[in-house]
Amino acid sequence: MTTDEIIDLLTEAYIDELETVMNYRTNAIVLDGIHAEEVKESLEADIQEELDHARILGERLKQLDESPPGSEAFEANQHSLQPPEDTTDVQSVIDGVLEAEEAAIETYRSLVEAADDANDPVTEDVAVTILADEEAHRTEFRGFQKEFPMD
């Protein structure tokens, strides 16, 4: 059975995915320098996945007789993912991505739990599937963090 908690988490996750798309999109454009190329390519790939997550979440909301939100519900949270003043500061983007992925992982873990408690296996499956993608993104950017030590 659907609960308010499930609807709230699906809605929050939907908005977060779209904020992630915006910031990954921007950072994949603005970064400069020899260290930036791999990170930009990785962001390009992740943009498509995050956009797909938003679609899956929105469709689940629709199935639960709810609507995904429009832009008026939007409130920005990803302060650490704003394009860096120094466009060669790849490290700041890596840190921001890791923070965003950690936040997403936390949200999907909460959704898995809420869906399990409410005996809603379809929402649980959605949350587990997306959670696996976010953990893969985190692993990828942890790798970048090792490769580009802070200087």
Footprint of Fe ion on 60-119 (CB under 5 A): none
Site string for Fe ion, 7-26 (x = CB under 5 A): ----------x---------
* Least distance (Å) between residue 146 CB and Fe ion: 19
Q: Which is nearer to Fe ion, 17 or 19 (CB)?
A: 17
Q: Which stretch binds Fe ion (CB under 5 A): 30-38, 53-61, 68-76, 139-147?
A: 53-61
Binding segment (CB under 5 A) for Fe ion, from list 66-74, 86-94, 111-119, 130-138: 130-138
How many Cβ atoms are within 10 Å of 4's Cβ, its own excluded? 8
Burial 93-126, CB ≥16 within 10 A → b, else e: bbbbbbebbeebbebbebbbebbeeeebeebbeb
Exposure string of 52-91, with b = 16+ CB inside 10 Å and e = fewer, is ebbebbbebbeeeeeebeeeeeeeeebeebeebeeeebbb
Q: Which of 58, 94, 137, 141 binds Fe ion (CB under 5 A)?
A: 137
Positions that interact with Fe ion (CB under 5 A): 17, 50, 53, 134, 137
